Amino acid sequence: MLVPVRVGILTSGGDCPGLNAVIRGAVMKGDRIYGVEFLGIRDGFRGLVDDDIRPLPRHDVRGLSRQGGTILGTSRIGPFAEGAGGSARVREVMERHEMDAIIAVGGEGTLTVARMLNDDGIPIVGVPKTIDNDLSATDYTFGFDTAVSIATESIDRLRTTAESHSRCMVVEVMGRHVGWIALHSGLAGGAHAILIPEQPVSMEQICAWVDAARDRGRAPLVVVAEGFKPEGTEIVRDALDGFGRPRLGGVGEWLGPIIEEQTGIETRVMTLGHLQRGGVPTSYDRVLATRFGLAAIDAVMDAKWGHMVSLRGIDIETVPLHDATRDLKSVPQSRWDEAAVLFG
């Protein structure tokens, strides 16, 4: 059996508070316990395609657990894009650097690529990241707690100004396919309506909740996930990002004027955007990310190729990437029903 001595690590997809803590955990345990050397792959899979790789010694990860972003850089470039060379190119670059295995830290797309590389025989393990908390096969991903904390603090601040002016406030948070950030920050912040991609809601219902909150003497607070789709209305999103995905952000700006017109309540809109992904991770995310990093190098040494580390209850386990990338973890109906009792 291959005993890895040189391990490459990359971070891919959108950045997320806690990525550096994963890198530190893996490198420190790899150095102290297993005596392996690390290679830092720059900007996710781009570094493998372009051969942009450098040594990542232990002293380079000092103090990293509290640092936001990723010291390795990240991108949405994949090895299976046209002209990128696929698994053959990845294998060639690994051989040039005598790299025995790869730790890939990323979201559903990155882990899908890791699975495809593994299917072609490349020794790789995954670490799940995303502020959206949309990965199945793990209870939580790091970054989510930080994003919810930032959103909740923002909601608390927006509330005092909204109350002073008796205004309605619409707060747009991230959540491309799922509404976990909106659900948790909305619950924590006492929102009068929480709008998520999983639950289409009509404008009539949204305005009814706003009216009801105002009638009780409250400044109505609406928390909306960027991927929310109002029932019976198409929001045209024709702008695409560099990778052909709809550029989200803007549903709040779309909702605000309609609420103002239909309810007569002066309405302001705040889109939190990338604030939710920046800055230092919370202590919860630092601990989870560090534990994921420690478990990732264990998985490499145990040759758990094609697996990712995962949180189950309070334990860190490994699960096959095939299971982890099958379905997105959306907000179940019961969680939305539970929250909806408090709307209006």
Catalytic residue positions? 132
For residues 32 and 36, give the distance between their C-alpha atoms in angstroms, rounded to a whole number.
8
Closer Cβ to Mg ion, 73 or 128, answer by number = 128
Closer Cβ to ligand ATP, 110 or 263, answer by number = 110
Q: 111 a known binding residue?
A: no
- What is the phi/psi pair of residue 195, to 5°? -115, 125
- For the bound state, the minimum distance from the C-beta of residue 249 to ligand F6P, rounded and expressed in Å, comes to 8
Closer Cβ to Mg ion, 107 or 175, answer by number = 107
Q: Figure out which of the listed residues 4, 13, 123, 252 binds ligand ATP, where binding follows CB under 6 A.
A: 13
The two structure tokens encoding residue 238: 């024709």
Closer Cβ to ligand F6P, 4 or 197, answer by number = 197
> Dihedral of CA 272/278/284/285: which sign?
positive
Residue 231 CB neighbours (<10 A)? 12
- How would you class 334 by CB atoms within 10 Å of its CB: exposed for 0-12, middle for 13-18, buried for 19 or more? exposed
Residue 275 CB neighbours (<10 A)? 15
Q: 124 a known binding residue?
A: no
Residue 16 near residue 8, CB atoms below 8 Å: no
Residue type, 272: L
What is the pattern of x (binds ligand ATP, CB under 6 A) and - over residues 237-256?
------x-------------
Partner whose binding site includes residue 175, from ligand ATP, ligand F6P, Mg ion, none (CB under 5 to 8 Å by kind): ligand F6P
Q: 108 a known binding residue?
A: yes
Partner whose binding site includes residue 123, from Mg ion, ligand F6P, ligand ATP, none (CB under 5 to 8 Å by kind): none
- For the bound state, the minimum distance from the C-beta of residue 18 to ligand F6P, rounded and expressed in Å, comes to 13
> Dihedral of CA 325/5/63/288: which sign?
positive
Q: Is 113 in the site for ligand ATP (CB under 6 A)?
A: yes
Secondary structure class of 296 (helix, strand, coil): helix
Q: Give the torsion through C-alpha atoms of 91, 37, 47, 326, to 10 deg.
A: 70
Work out whether strand 37-41 and strand 6-11 pair parallel, antiparallel, or are unpaired. Answer: parallel
Q: State the residues that interact with ligand F6P by CB under 6 A.
A: 14, 107, 130-132, 174-176, 226, 241, 248, 277
Long-range contact set of residues 237-245: C-beta below 8 Å, sequence gap at least 24: 242/76, 243/76
Q: 110 a known binding residue?
A: yes
Of 167, 144, 187, 182, nearest in space to 271 by CA? 182
Site for Mg ion in 82-111 (CB under 5 A): 107-109
Partner whose binding site includes residue 302, from ligand ATP, ligand F6P, Mg ion, none (CB under 5 to 8 Å by kind): none
CA 170 from centre of chain: 22
Q: Figure out which of the listed residues 11, 65, 110, 149 binds ligand ATP, where binding follows CB under 6 A.
A: 110
Closer Cβ to Mg ion, 245 or 312, answer by number = 245
Residue 267 CB neighbours (<10 A)? 22
Q: Is 78 in the site for Mg ion (CB under 5 A)?
A: no
* Sequence ranges of the binding site: 14, 76-77, 107-110, 130-132, 167, 174-176, 226, 268, 274-277
* Sequence ranges of the binding site for substrate: 130-132, 167, 174-176, 226, 268, 274-277
In the complex, the residues that contact ligand ATP under the rule CB under 6 A are 12-14, 76-78, 80-81, 106-110, 112-113, 130, 243
